């Protein structure tokens, strides 16, 4: 290990500019518009200051993989933004990357979710990326009956066959999507996958391509209707390859915030 890289405010702005630039380029190269790919900032290595700064720059989408961190960070950021607003320091300009301060943020849950923690998560996030079993889906469906809107979920796909990785194996994905589509309190929005870590992004391509293939099959079968339209793939080391393979949501942490785990 080399010494940790912990970007300060200037470096975070520069890192953000670089990452969004690379996303835009990858999107354009694969015939899509930059705004067709959503950047979700993964905050597991971020400090509270870094998270606030990104929101002040207009960034809206944040993700956590640990429930405990989510329970601390989501309310803290909401409070920060409402304090800013009440002080009149939020401009009325439209929300946008590097524009005005975000008026609101959306949290995403991307880590493994235990059923006993599901309730708290449903109250804090806009999208759960990590539904990996029928039992978890059923638990969320039960919780959703007490909510005003269906809970939006992605099915996590294990496209590598690596046992240590979470997710549903490829041959079972379509069936789970079909089952979730019958649950009125859930809205299946798409798929999420993680490729095994490698320094070479090309090694992720096969996993992304396989997941994109199942995604298209489910869409062709009209499961989930037009709402099944999110393909969440790609992290700091491989988001460009993921975009080439069809990702329209990338989850980037270390390339923005550095690689020191924040505890
Ligand atoms: C940590 C994490 C990410 C972000 O990974 P980086 O390498 O920091 O970009 C994305 N998705 C999931 C599910 C994660 O746990």
Each residue's pLDDT tens digit, 209-223: 999 999 999 999 999
- Asked whether the whole model's pTM tops 0.85, one would answer yes
Does the pLDDT value for residue 242 go beyond 50? Answer: yes
Residues in contact with ligand 1 by the CB-under-6-Å rule are 42, 44, 65, 110-111, 194, 235-237, 251-255
Instruction: State the distance from the centre of ligand 1 to the C-alpha of 235, rounded, in angstroms.
Output: 6
Does the pLDDT value for residue 96 go beyond 50? Answer: no
Q: For residue 92, what pLDDT is reported?
A: 46
The tokens describing 122, both together, are: 């449903």
Q: b/e for 29-42, b at 16 or more Cβ within 10 A?
A: eeeeeeeebbbbbb
Q: How many helices (H) and strands (E) does the chain have?
A: 9, 9
Each residue's pLDDT tens digit, 34-88: 999 999 999 999 999 999 999 999 999 999 999 999 999 999 999 999 998 887 6
Instruction: State the distance from the centre of ligand 1 to the C-alpha of 251, rounded, in angstroms.
Output: 6
Q: For residue 93, what pLDDT is reported?
A: 45
Q: Do residues 121 and 113 touch, judged by C-beta distance below 8 A?
A: yes
Mean pLDDT calculated for residue range 137-154: 97
Instruction: State the distance from the centre of ligand 1 to the C-alpha of 67, rounded, in angstroms.
Output: 15
| Domains identified in the chain and CATH numbers | 9-91+101-257 (3.20.20.10)
* Cα gap 192→248, rounded to integer Å: 11
Does the pLDDT value for residue 1 go beyond 70? Answer: no
Each residue's pLDDT tens digit, 250-260: 999 999 999 87
Choose among 191, 194, 189: nearest CA to 236.
194
Q: For residue 259, what pLDDT is reported?
A: 86
Ligand 1 atom with the smallest distance to the CA of 65 is 15
Choose among 252, 260, 256, 263: nearest CA to 42.
252
Residue 250 φ/ψ, nearest 5 degrees: -120, 145
Mean pLDDT calculated for residue range 133-141: 97
Q: At which residue do the structure tokens 């809107």 appear?
A: 149
């Amino acid at each position: 290990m080399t010494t940790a890289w912990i970007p300060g405010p200037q470096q975070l702005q520069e890192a953000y500019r670089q990452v969004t630039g690379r996303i835009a380029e990858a999107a354009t190269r694969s015939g899509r518009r930059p705004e067709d790919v959503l950047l979700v900032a993964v905050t597991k290595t971020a400090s509270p200051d870094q998270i606030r700064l990104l929101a002040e720059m207009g960034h809206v989408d944040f993700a956590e993989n640990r429930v405990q961190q989510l329970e601390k960070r989501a309310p803290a950021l909401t409070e920060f933004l409402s304090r800013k607003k009440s002080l009149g320091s939020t401009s009325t300009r439209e929300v946008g990357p590097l524009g005005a301060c975000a008026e609101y943020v959306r949290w995403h849950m991307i880590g493994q979710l235990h059923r006993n923690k599901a309730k708290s998560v449903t109250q804090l996030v806009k999208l759960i990326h990590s539904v990996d079993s029928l039992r978890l889906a059923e638990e969320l469906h039960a919780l959703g009956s007490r909510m005003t809107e269906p809970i939006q979920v992605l099915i996590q796909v294990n496209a590598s066959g690596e046992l240590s990785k979470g997710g549903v194996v490829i041959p079972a994905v379509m069936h789970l999507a079909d089952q979730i589509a019958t649950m009125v309190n859930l809205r299946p929005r798409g798929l999420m996958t993680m490729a095994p870590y490698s320094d070479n992004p090309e090694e992720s391509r096969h996993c992304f391509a396989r997941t994109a293939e199942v995604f298209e099959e489910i869409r062709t079968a009209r499961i989930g209707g037009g709402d099944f339209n999110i393909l969440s793939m790609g992290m700091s080391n491989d988001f460009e390859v993921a975009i080439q393979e069809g990702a329209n949501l990338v989850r980037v942490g270390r390339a923005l915030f550095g690689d020191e785990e924040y505890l």
